[in-house]
Structure 1
Amino acid sequence: MKYLSRYRRHKAVAPLLLMFALFAIGTTFSVASATTTPSQSAFARSVAIDEGRQLFLKGCSSCHGLNAEGGAIAPSLIGVGAASVDFQVGTGRMPMADMSTQAMRKKPVYDEKEVAALAEYVASLAPGPAIPTDELLNYERDGSTAEGGELFRTNCAMCHNFAAQGGALTQGKYAPTLMGVEPKHIYEALITGPQSMPVFSDKTLTPAEKLSIIKWIKAAEAEPALGGASLGRVGPVTEGLLIWTLGIGLLIGVAVWLAMKAR
């Protein structure tokens, strides 16, 4: 004690005590945060699940059942995952008034928070595809435009058109255009397979290959129409129809003019 009391008035004592106090406070705060964060996160998720269930009972249960078990006009949602809900509800395809028609992309009924709550609730029912994170969706960093074009033409062009403009399917259905679709929703469609679309698992298309497809779609979306009017970029059909219509119309006009002049 005498040894310590000898240096208690030393000019370095105050800074050392201050550093020790700050270190003790920081350590205590870190330990407290580490012990409370998981419980807070679990509590927030529980609240989101409860909110999602209330939204589900109000807006979805009449078709999908009170426990999402499905019914005569709508499938079960058990095991579809948060990604499926985020895609269907986030793009405005669900809820829909007539389940016999194809769901169209439109303005969402629910806001982002409500969509997230619905996704949390459905995800809590059974494991399923999760919503891709922003880190995963970094297609500019992890994707390849050239590879994406090849993969798109191999796996997607037969339905969505070689320029991703969409196309007709059987039984009155159609593959929608991919222009203007958020990268997150494209990725979710690939891993969930909405409606007539197949599921592209990571064994079929790796995450990097999915990102390459997204990168190619975004490149095609930004590509200017260097040849003039794009006419929907659906190939020679519209071009031939336009030429045929204008050509025949011009010939008919010339024939009528000559007939009137010959009188």
Structure 2
Amino acid sequence: MKSLAQRRRHPLAAVALILLALLITGTVYAAASSANTAQASQSKETYTAEDATSGQKLFISNCATCHGMGAKGSPAGPSLVGVGAASVDFQVGTGRMPMAANGPQAEQKPAQFNDEQTRQLAAYVASLGAGPAVPSEEQLDTSKGDAAKGGEVFRVNCAMCHNAAAAGGALTRGKYAPALKDVSEKHIYEAMVTGPQNMPVFNNSNITPDEKRNLITFLKTIEAQGSPGGADLGSLGPVSEGLFAWVAGLGVIIAFTIWLTSRSS
């Protein structure tokens, strides 16, 4: 026992304990990071080395001017390392990238690249670092979604910017939240997980995959229903629509009164 106590008091014992603690902490951290990376980079698409190589050529020809060689960013554009395939598929697939001109935000326009080229660009950016993957068909299957629950999720998280009827709305500094009509299920999902423009990122901790599917189901349901009450006046809401009806009705009454007065004279 005495010799054991003496060994515990050895000057290097404290150093050994610190090194052991650091080793254990580093191992646990690395394991946790690997698990998170694997979850983040779990791709629903299967990319080959040829896809990434073709995507790199397209990137150098069309994107490197702003985003820099190796997609590491430049004063004209942010780094794309770690943004994931979903971000590329959304931005390029909706025509927002490449931008036609500098402005408060990227405008949606006809896509410059076809589906295969978009996939190759996504493969290249995905190869640079883990990030949100393109959603699977199961995640986008609205037949398995609940529109009522999706409406609750939308009103809590999205309606303040996109309008309760998903008709879009104005933001600050010339920016806006776009209308969500005629937007594909895939692009809606990708927007939630990547947070383009001023939109926050809704990861699986904020909104679960099932809730995302429910939300998409809600949007597609109201899109299919249209406006059963007649003209929706931009879906601005009952206050503005009531005000329009009041002003229009009052104008008709005034015009009719003026017409009657002119007839009597």
Query: Shorter-chain TM-score: what band?
Result: 0.7 to 0.9
| Identity, % of aligned positions | 52
Question: Which residue is 2:34 aligned to?
Answer: none
Question: Which residue is 2:54 aligned to?
Answer: 51
2:76 to 64, 67, 73: 73
AA partner of residue 246 (structure 1): A
Q: Retained in 1: the 8 A contact 2:139–2:210?
A: no
String of CA shifts for 1:137-188, please: whole Å, max 9, x gaps: 22322x2111111111101111111111111111121111111111111110
Match status 1:131 vs 2:134: yes
1:211 to 205, 210, 213: 213
| Runs of 4+ that moved beyond 4 A | none
Structure 1 unpaired stretches of 5+: 1-40
CA distance in 2, matches of 1:103, 1:240: 34
Question: Which residue is 1:176 aligned to?
Answer: 178
Q: How does 1:1-263 map to 2 (within 5 A)?
A: 45-141=48-144, 143-263=145-265
AA partner of residue 233 (structure 1): S
Query: What is the deviation of 1:107?
Result: 1.3
AA partner of residue 191 (structure 2): A
Higher relative contact order (CA 8 A, sep 6+): 2
SS at match of 1:79: coil
Moved more, 216-225 or 74-83: 216-225
Q: Retained in 2: the 8 A contact 1:48–1:121?
A: yes
SS at match of 1:67: helix
Structure 2 unpaired stretches of 5+: 1-44
Query: What is the deviation of 1:229?
Result: 1.5
AA partner of residue 113 (structure 1): E
Moved more, 66-75 or 155-164: 66-75
SS at match of 1:249: helix
- Larger radius of gyration between Structure 1 and Structure 2: 1
Root-mean-square deviation over aligned CA pairs: 1.9
AA partner of residue 81 (structure 1): G
CA distance in 2, matches of 1:58, 1:241: 53
CA distance in 1, matches of 2:102, 2:119: 23
Query: What is the deviation of 1:82?
Result: 0.4
SS at match of 2:48: helix
Q: Retained in 2: the 8 A contact 1:74–1:99?
A: no
Q: Retained in 2: the 8 A contact 1:73–1:99?
A: no
